[in-house]
Amino acid sequence: MVSADGAGLRTVFGIYRTDLSPRPKEVGAIFVKTNYMILTFQDLLDALNKGDIVINPIAPGAIGTNSIDVRLSKFMCIYEPELEGNLEVIDAAKPCNVRYFEIPENGIVLEPGEIYLGSTMEYTETHKHIPVLEGKSGVGRLGINIHATAGFGDLGYCGHWTLEIFVLQRVRVYAGMPIGQISYHVPKSMPEVGYMQRKASSYTDAHDPKPQPSRLYRKLNANNS
């Protein structure tokens, strides 16, 4: 059995299970005891009521069994590469040129081979939990990916989430459509300084839903100075 504080959960290569009985097919796998916990429906309600989690606005029916749905805002942007000889190049060590636009009422067709920066309609805050953003299953089944690498959020983050959207085939998307789901995880301990207070944090000004392009150049230039 699993205790109320989550002790006794085991993980095999990042997959958590509550059944602690051995399985023949997992002979040789390494099991690790952990205090890992994820908030489920009532926990999410409690955290929202206490203000430990903020989702604004929150859609009707957005709270699921162990995550909260978020929707695609109307704001998007794409990178405009610079010419280096005959090649169009995005330079990670320089501020990126982007073109902002809004999704019209009849939607917009996303093209393969392009990365679109979108954002969540919802403004979020997380003060005691680690947020993790993943795509909705219905979105994934259309060949839409909503993040290239940055699905893992920071404890203390306040703002709209920027989405790194790319598609495997042409897909029409709409502002306001369900795009992702955020799950909330209980940390082993609290950091001394939250994300918004850390000097090294790059995206502390996401107070409006316009997506934010990469700011990796700041760290690259700081390391080279």
Q: Are residues 44 and 25 in the same domain?
A: no
Question: Do 6 and 106 reside in the same domain of the chain?
Answer: no
Closest CA to 182 of 125, 143, 141, 142: 125
Both tokens of 126, joined, read 């997380």
Domain count across the chain: 2
The confidence band for 224, taking pLDDT boundaries of 50, 70 and 90, is low
Q: Please indicate, yes or no, whether residues 111 and 9 belong to a single structural domain of this protein.
A: no
Q: Is the same domain home to 97 and 204?
A: yes
Domain range enclosing 167? 38-224
Q: Of 82, 115, 71, nearest to 214 (Cα)?
A: 115
Catalytic residue among 26, 84, 114, 164: 164
Same domain, 49 and 32: no
**Co-location of 161 and 76 in the same domain:** yes
pTM beyond 0.85, yes or no: no
**pLDDT value for 149:** 81
pLDDT of amino acid 29: 42
Residues 14 and 91 in one domain: no
Q: Find which of 13-27, 65-79, 178-192 is predicted with most confidence, using mean pLDDT.
A: 65-79
User: 218 and 200 share a domain?
Assistant: yes
What is the pLDDT averaged over residues 87-115?
95
Q: Is 164 a catalytic residue?
A: yes
Average of per-residue pLDDT values in the chain = 85
